Amino acid sequence: MTLTSPHLGSSEAWTDARLLYALEEVVEKELNRHLKVAKDWMPHEYVPWSDARNFPGFFEDGTVWEPEQSKVTDIGKIALVVNLLTEDNLPSYHHEIASLFGRDGAWGTWVHRWTAEEGRHGIVMRDYLLASRAVDPDKLEQFRMTHMAEGFESDNRHSMLHSVAYVAFQELATRVSHRNTGHQSGDPVCDRMLARIATDENLHMVFYRNLLGAAFEIAPDLTMQAVRDVVVQFRMPGHGMPGFERAAAQMAIGEIYNMRIHHDDVLQPVLRYLKVLDIDGLGPEGLKAQEELGLYMGGLDSEAAKFDEKLAARKARMAARAAH
């Protein structure tokens, strides 16, 4: 596939403002497509309200929370808290993308629509966790306050192209994390709720992935460099939350999100769909970025293979212990 950039002289001619203007029609087209396929849904319909009881405090009949009150698995609880705290930071995410993409025209319409759809995810997850008593409500609120009070600054806030590249991968990563959490939760109600959220996240990924494809057509070298930087330095937006490293390690072992999943189910699908490693006609900087991206993906695959071996050995040890 050969892509050529417009006659704007050098890559330096592509400022964020020019890119936003050049991509406005694509944003409008993708927004209209999104609005046709996205389905409105009611968060309250996914919550098991009949399982809910009062908590102590103002209510004399309140029941103290106990871990055994929920059917959700231990790994499901850990992942649900991580996923919810990530969704909780929506005000910061909105500020980031509204500052980068603007609040006018198709860009602004998308920013507000995306924020409104994402808002449902935090609402339904918190309601589910409290109604089903899946986690300690006091700790959940303390974690939320700590995480949100620290604020959030994107690693990619310096560049509109880097931000588009990041969210193309991150929305898919979030979809995969929610979907796998549902599968591992041990509760069909939880699984159904997270499947609904994952459907939204997939549509968001498609929007940003298609926008990234359009960016490759108008500014291939700059876009390739942005994708290279984002993939090599990728971090989930929840990295600043309390206890994230430990929770991430447990989620990796629990096969909710790990290196193999990140390589196979998040990075590869987007790169393959856009044929990123096959794009030709690049300038020196774009070609260098493409080569470095290919090398990184090969290295990540090798690291994932080592992780797979360790995980298989761990499972074998646990099975042997259970047999005795």
- For 15, 43, 300, the CA distances from 68, given in Å and listed in that order, are 55, 25, 39
- Residue 118 annotated in ligand binding: yes
Residue pointed to by tokens 């927004």: 31
| Residue 186: φ, ψ to 5° | 80, 5
Q: Extract the tokens encoding 41.
A: 């849904």
- Residue 201 annotated in ligand binding: yes
Burial 72-104 (b: 16+ CB within 10 A, else e): bbebbbbbbbbbbbbbbbbebbbbbbeebbbee
- Give the span between the Cα atoms of 281 and 271, in whole angstroms: 17
- Give the span between the Cα atoms of 164 and 211, in whole angstroms: 7
- Residue 239 annotated in ligand binding: no
Q: Crossing angle for the helix pair 74-88 and 244-253, nearest 10 degrees?
A: 130
Question: Are 192 and 46 spatial neighbours (Cβ–Cβ below 8 Å)?
Answer: yes
- For 96, 122, 163, 166, 226, the CA distances from 212, given in Å and listed in that order, are 18, 27, 10, 10, 10
- Residue 87 annotated in ligand binding: yes
Binding-site residue set for Fe cation: 87, 118, 121, 171, 201, 204
Annotated binding site: 87, 118, 121, 171, 201, 204
